[in-house]
Amino acid sequence: MAELWFVRHGETDFNIVGRYCGSTDAPLNAHGLEQAEALAQTMAGKKFDVIFSSDLCRAYVTAQATAQVLAMEINVDPRLREINQGEWEGMFYTDIVKQMEAQLQEKRENPLYFRPPQGETLVEVIERVSQAVDDIARAYPAGKILIFSHGLAIATQICRFDGKPYEMAHDLIPANATPVVFEYLPVEEPAK
């Protein structure tokens, strides 16, 4: 059975100031780079069969630090990206609260299927990330797999493997550059 180590990227300025980042390719800030290096040092000496990363630079650069310490290559899979927040990307959460009350109410009432303008639903993220994880785990059925991704993308997998409702995903976003470990078990996905 595969062992999955999910790691959220290091900190970005978007995280600090309360902007929605989503699929925007925001870089790590200085603290995020330090977090990536600290993570790499804690991973030194551990044995992994493979490393995968989102193609967004904040995840990939976080992965690079560990890959260098472990002398491993990184496999890139764009399906591990964060949710696409559409027109909300780059906006301050406080501005969304002020300007888009009706949309936020719709998101609260229908968290799985709410779609920001030009963005993705949570169900689409669940399906995309779960398919990537399934494909990776099937390719390394007894492997120890390190996956660098993003807060909400990983939170969907925390819900999946802990058997929690996907509606809780926004409350389960892991800390930056901190591993979350699961044994791989295929799990039924929510119906469309």
pTM given for the model: 0.94
Is the pLDDT score of 139 beyond 90? Answer: yes
Give yes or no for a contact between 150 and 190, defined as CB atoms under 8 angstroms apart.
Answer: no
Q: 92 — phi, psi (to 5°)?
A: -75, 140
What are the extents of the domains in the chain? 3-183
Is the domain 3-183 a CATH 3.40.50.1240 member? yes
Pairing between strand 74-76 and 50-53?
Answer: parallel
- CA 128 to each of CA 82, 83, 106, 189: distance values in angstroms, whole numbers, following the listed order: 10, 10, 23, 11
The two structure tokens encoding residue 83: 């949710």
pLDDT for 185 equals: 77
- Arithmetic mean of pLDDT over the chain: 95
- pLDDT confidence bin for 36, thresholds 50/70/90: very high
